[in-house]
Chains A and B, each alone.
Chain A
Amino acid sequence: MTSLVTVEDLRVSFTGSDVVRGVSLSVAPGECVAIVGESGSGKSVTARALLGLAGPGSAVRAAAFRVAGRDAFAFTPADWRRLRGGFAGLVLQDALVSLDPLRTVGAEIAEVLATHDVAPRGRRAERVLELLEAVGVPDPATRAGQRPHQLSGGLRQRALIASAIAADPPLIIADEPTTALDVTVQAQILRLLAGRRAAGTALLLISHDLAVVASIADRVLVMKDGRVVEEGPTRDVLAAPAHAYTRTLLAAVPSAASRSTRLTTGEPRGRPTPDRSAQVLAGTGLTRSYGPRRVVDDVSFTLHAGETLGVVGESGSGKTTLARLALGLLEPDAGQVTLHRRPWSHRRERERRPLRPRVQLVSQNPLDSFDPRHTVGRLIAEPLRVHRDARHERVLDLLARVGLPPETAARHPRELSGGQRQRVAIARALGPRPDVLVCDEPVSALDVSIQAQVLDLLADIQTEYGTAMVFISHDLGVVHHVADRVLVMKDGRVVEEGDVAEVFARPRHPYTRTLVDSVPRPVPSPHRLDAAGAA
């Protein structure tokens, strides 16, 4: 059988700058091909170019470009429109914005039916419900009348998939279809896609995450800077990566196995031994409500010197509120926080202020935490309690400590990359020589190779200064890599806690078990996800 899509030497440029520089790929009917790469690798543009949607101002060239057995360069706009939705359905990240937020999901799905005239007008409403049912949306009659914001992340992603398959296309192009989702929901959506594939639909999957594609793809292409650096059967690429970049990517993924190595180099690293006799920060019976909702409900924790306490949980589990309680930015309604066994919550701000440098914050989005007018140097100098003359020198020390050149001090954070900004945030938090670093999703916005650098940096700092860390993340692999002990949170409560290896290897609570089972593994599993579990 001929392939559905074939491109040879695809090049896409935007006003002179090449974003895709010679990509060849083909997708055969019923096959699942994955493109994996970090941001800026050109993977999304490649996928969109296959639908003639590379974007305004783009120039697309290729040695050969065949879609549905025809030469794509000969297509009229009407030809393209027939193919979009009819031949290939597109599923993007985050249905909250990828479906029209002002229209009901039913109307969105019906629009495909009308555009491609696959169901007569009178049958469309019925067909919408069938489609929603097919993608595992319970109570489709109610859901069809709702808008994306009224649905949970998982349900609206299913609705988006329903709209992509409405005209029964032989190919689905899914661009980071699970990136905005919680890990348990991600597993469900992957099972749904696997189910479509088992039913005969070909799948082109775009992802930044090798582990996500491992369970489902037949072949994988690894992209970097607009080129394919490696391709082959998924099993081979993952088990024996031929290209150095693929190896780096795989090594950079934090997990249980990487606990005692540096992610960037694979060299062994030392872990500081926590001093269990020196309690630094502790909370007992912490409760905090917003309106009627208890966001944090009876949570207790202790953090010792040199220790890393991981906090995992899905969105809405109360992790960030817990971080704010630990930082003394929020007072608990009940319970109390102590710092070095002395009261930290329920104090007058004036008494707490001199102690504040002891507890510092590294947040997910450093740009929000920087005064937009200030240079890097001034940002890092802000928390320093040293004499003016010594300040500049100390700023340069800190910059050097986080691996940034001294010139960075004069620059604005806007001009820096995401990884560099996070280094600046870490340098600033280190300035007051804190006893505790509260890291709230510090690497969630970063590519895996940058994430590896930042995690290594945090590990080095901990080894060097013995700083205790509260490390909040939705990513079990990251927590497994960095933490000594872990709290698992759900709906504001701690459902399980203990030694990280123990908790993840032998979870006692059913929720922890679901969480652990949902994590995609980069190692190809012997048994593929089966189609039966699609719902």
Chain B
Amino acid sequence: MIRRLGAGLAVLWAAATASYVALLLAPGDTVDILIGDGADTPEIRAGIIAEWGLDRPEIVQYLAYLWRLLHGDLGRSYQLQRGVGEVLAGQIGPTVQLTLAAAATGVALAAVIAIGTAGRGRWPRAAASAAELVSVSVPPFLIGIVLLSVFSFTLGWFPVSGAEGPAALVLPALALGLPIAGVLGQVLRGGLERALEQPFAVTARARGLTERALVARHALRHALLPAVTMAGWFTGALLGGAVITEVLFGRPGLGQVAMQAVTSQDMPVVMAVVLLSAVVYVTISTLLDLAYRVIDPRIRS
């Protein structure tokens, strides 16, 4: 467990360092980069130099930067004229809503498809695997566009954009959740089918278990193992997809913030978003790691 925590801290440290190195590597004067498109006066420049310690040696700057991060100080956006922490805190709510809804949708759909089709003969399996293939081959924003044109423009069931009320969450969550369902569904189904071919499945059938009980009590647990090792991919798909989904559906959130920051080259905000996603990654993968230990007690001994 301590190893696990250490590894998590290493990831955070590496993310902080990577974004810092990116800032140093960026062509041009660091002060110019930090200001970006913000107001440029000698006073502001002096303030930046003081805050980032740009008049001191680089290693000292770097350590000072880490020190500030340790105290939860994410710096200041010179374009938005606000603290970065404040900017992110104001927008995090809708993004959390969206990603949680999408994760739940994706996991639920994947489970239903996998359990419904594993070992059920040729055609259901072929249909499921074709659906999975398409869902991983369509760019997430295209799924969103199709959903929009069918359910909003043609049928008018859901609002086109915004984040007002639960109805506005349905299409974005689906758009973000479907590709996740495709990949997870594939992994789960493969895991189920492998488990159902194992000798222990023969033994369980020979005990008089129904196929349903066999899946529920034995095979599903085995099928979950490969799925929970996909933490990295899962986080990436959610966070990366959130940026695109928010832009497409005109939803407020961290994705929009990130996009604006990238377009206007607001480095302090971009760096903070990268750090935040590393924090999310570390959290999710730690949780899934714990889940793995619960599902497979073999690795404890």
In the complex they form, do A and B come into direct contact, defined as C-beta atoms under 8 angstroms apart? yes
A interface residues (Cβ-Cβ under 8 A, vs B): 48, 51, 53, 56, 77, 81-86, 88-90, 92-94, 97-103, 111-112, 115-116, 147, 149-150, 160, 163-164
Residue B56 at the chain A interface, CB threshold 8 Å: no
Listed by A's residue number, 22 A-B pairs whose Cβ atoms lie within 8 Å are A48-B202, A56-B119, A85-B208, A88-B206, A89-B206, A90-B202, A93-B199, A94-B199, A97-B199, A100-B204, A100-B218, A101-B200, A102-B295, A102-B297, A103-B218, A111-B207, A115-B209, A115-B213, A116-B208, A147-B297, A149-B298, A149-B301
Q: Which chain B residues lie closer than 8 Å to A90 at the CB level? A: 202-203, 206
Give, as a whole number of angstroms, the nearest-CB distance from B165 to chain A.
43
Give, as a whole number of angstroms, the nearest-CB distance from A233 to chain B.
29
Q: Which residue of B lies closest to A99 (CB)?
A: B200
Q: Are B208 and A163 in contact (CB under 8 A)?
A: no
Q: Are A102 and B222 in contact (CB under 8 A)?
A: yes
In whole angstroms, what is the CA distance A77 to B210 when docked?
9
Q: Are B208 and A81 in contact (CB under 8 A)?
A: yes
Residue B296 at the chain A interface, CB threshold 8 Å: yes
In whole angstroms, what is the CA distance A278 to B203 when docked?
55
Q: Are B208 and A53 in contact (CB under 8 A)?
A: no
Chain B residues 111-130 with CB under 8 Å of chain A are 119
Q: Are A53 and B217 in contact (CB under 8 A)?
A: no
Give, as a whole number of angstroms, the nearest-CB distance from A158 to chain B.
14
Q: Which chain A residues lie closer than 8 Å to B296 at the CB level? A: 102
In whole angstroms, what is the CA distance A89 to B208 when docked?
10
Residue B198 at the chain A interface, CB threshold 8 Å: yes
Total inter-chain residue pairs, C-beta < 8 Å: 73
Q: Are A112 and B199 in contact (CB under 8 A)?
A: no
Q: CB < 8 Å: which of B119, B202, B208, B213 contacts A82?
A: B208
Size of interface on B: residues with Cβ below 8 Å to A? 23
Q: Which residue of A lies closest to B211 (CB)?
A: A77
In whole angstroms, what is the CA distance A102 to B301 when docked?
13
In whole angstroms, what is the CA distance A56 to B118 when docked?
13
Q: Which chain A residues lie closer than 8 Å to B199 at the CB level? A: 92-94, 97-98
Q: Which chain B residues lie closer than 8 Å to A81 at the CB level? A: 208-210
Q: Are A100 and B119 in contact (CB under 8 A)?
A: no
Q: Which residue of B lies closest to A56 (CB)?
A: B119
Q: Are A102 and B221 in contact (CB under 8 A)?
A: yes
B interface residues (Cβ-Cβ under 8 A, vs A): 119, 198-200, 202-210, 213, 217-218, 221-222, 295-298, 301
**Interface SS of chain B:** helix
Q: Which residue of B lies closest to A91 (CB)?
A: B203
The verdict on A111 contacting B217 (CB below 8 Å), with A92-B199, A97-B198, A102-B298 known, is: yes
Q: Which chain B residues lie closer than 8 Å to A86 at the CB level? A: 208
Give, as a whole number of angstroms, the nearest-CB distance from A94 to chain B.
7
Q: Are A115 and B202 in contact (CB under 8 A)?
A: no
Q: Are B301 and A111 in contact (CB under 8 A)?
A: no
For the complex of A and B, list the 3 residue pairs with the smallest distance between their C-beta atoms, beginning with the closest: A90-B206, A85-B207, A84-B208
Q: Are B206 and A84 in contact (CB under 8 A)?
A: yes
Q: Are B297 and A98 in contact (CB under 8 A)?
A: no
Give, as a whole number of angstroms, the nearest-CB distance from A530 to chain B.
29
Contacts A85-B208, A88-B206, A163-B207 known; list 5 others, CB within 8 Å. A112-B207, A115-B213, A147-B298, A149-B298, A163-B203
Q: Which residue of B lies closest to A104 (CB)?
A: B297
Give, as a whole number of angstroms, the nearest-CB distance from B197 to chain A.
9
In whole angstroms, what is the CA distance A51 to B206 when docked?
7
In whole angstroms, what is the CA distance A290 to B207 when docked?
41
In whole angstroms, what is the CA distance A421 to B63 when docked?
61
Q: Are B202 and A160 in contact (CB under 8 A)?
A: no
Q: Which residue of B lies closest to A87 (CB)?
A: B208
In whole angstroms, what is the CA distance A56 to B196 when docked?
11
In whole angstroms, what is the CA distance A440 to B120 when docked?
43
Give, as a whole number of angstroms, the nearest-CB distance from A293 to chain B.
16
Q: Which chain B residues lie closer than 8 Å to A164 at the CB level? A: 206
Give, as a whole number of angstroms, the nearest-CB distance from A58 to chain B.
13
Q: Which chain B residues lie closer than 8 Å to A101 at the CB level? A: 200, 298
Q: Which residue of A lies closest to B197 (CB)?
A: A56
In whole angstroms, what is the CA distance A229 to B100 when docked?
64
Q: Which chain A residues lie closer than 8 Å to B210 at the CB level? A: 77, 81
Q: Are B301 and A85 in contact (CB under 8 A)?
A: no
Give, as a whole number of angstroms, the nearest-CB distance from A91 to chain B.
8
In whole angstroms, what is the CA distance A147 to B208 when docked?
21
Name the residue in B198, B205, B296 with the highest tally of chain A Cβ atoms < 10 Å from its Cβ: B205
In whole angstroms, what is the CA distance A362 to B290 when docked?
43
Give, as a whole number of angstroms, the nearest-CB distance from B297 to chain A.
6
Q: Which residue of A lies closest to B295 (CB)?
A: A102
Q: Which chain A residues lie closer than 8 Å to B202 at the CB level? A: 48, 53, 90, 92, 98
Q: Which chain B residues lie closer than 8 Å to A94 at the CB level? A: 199
Q: Which chain B residues lie closer than 8 Å to A56 at the CB level? A: 119
In whole angstroms, what is the CA distance A86 to B206 when docked?
9
Q: Which residue of B lies closest to A48 (CB)?
A: B202
Q: Which chain B residues lie closer than 8 Å to A53 at the CB level? A: 202, 205-206
Give, as a whole number of angstroms, the nearest-CB distance from A102 to chain B.
5
Q: Which chain B residues lie closer than 8 Å to A92 at the CB level? A: 199, 202-203
Give, as a whole number of angstroms, the nearest-CB distance from B203 to chain A.
5
Q: CB < 8 Å: which of A48, A83, A99 contacts B208?
A: A83
Q: CB < 8 Å: which of A84, A93, A102, A103 contacts B207?
A: A84
Q: Which chain B residues lie closer than 8 Å to A82 at the CB level? A: 208
Q: Which chain A residues lie closer than 8 Å to B119 at the CB level? A: 56
In whole angstroms, what is the CA distance A82 to B217 when docked?
18
In whole angstroms, what is the CA distance A94 to B208 when docked?
20
Q: Are A99 and B209 in contact (CB under 8 A)?
A: no
Q: Are A85 and B198 in contact (CB under 8 A)?
A: no
Q: Which chain A residues lie closer than 8 Å to B208 at the CB level? A: 81-86, 112, 115-116
Give, as a whole number of angstroms, the nearest-CB distance from A124 to chain B.
14
Q: Are B200 and A100 in contact (CB under 8 A)?
A: yes
